[in-house]
A = this chain, B = another copy of it.
């Protein structure tokens, strides 16, 4: 199976679990079950890395300090772009470099997936217009204000529109990631990976 370059954005004020949940799921997925396959990348269907505006340290919510693997400029071509949320997204709504990066990379990526208030950034660049979408429960109205033509779903844990996937708040990004693993690699691979990281998947919460 072709390995998908999976870039996860990080920035000052990114919510920790928004980006580390999908990072954990995608980076530990293996198409061959068991412990041994986890010791190498040979059977890894996702090549996962963080992307910052630069490779200078960013500080996540709560003070966690992270060094991005790539900058906007040095990041390789992406198959999957993950846009996490957090209080820091509000400043990015006016950051042209970040909005340009999302716009440009969306055009060539197979899938763009947001977690939590990452959806605000997708809305800001017009990607969610006319689409079903969700975000953190406390940001649903904010999302609607950014683009009244978004068809908000206030109940789903994640919403799969094919090329674009949005998740509800924080921990919902883990369920979204497993959904994506299942779509690409099948139910067995997703369930075996969930068992490996001892995550209890929530069935039937996506749309």
Interface residues of A (CB under 8 A from B): 15-17, 20-21, 23-24, 27-28, 35, 39, 48-50, 57, 61-69, 87, 116, 136-138, 157, 168-172, 174, 196-200, 202
**Is the beta-carbon distance between A61 and B27 smaller than 8 angstroms?**
yes
Residues in B with CB closer than 8 Å to A24 are 15-17, 20, 62, 170
Number of copies: 2
CA distance A24 to B57 in the complex (A): 19
Residues in B with CB closer than 8 Å to A197 are 17, 169-171
- 14 extra interchain contacts, Cβ-Cβ under 8 A, other than A20-B24, A63-B69? A17-B21, A17-B197, A49-B63, A57-B67, A65-B66, A65-B67, A66-B67, A168-B198, A169-B197, A170-B198, A170-B199, A171-B200, A172-B198, A200-B202
Residues in B with CB closer than 8 Å to A68 are 65
Chain B residue at smallest Cβ distance from A157: B198
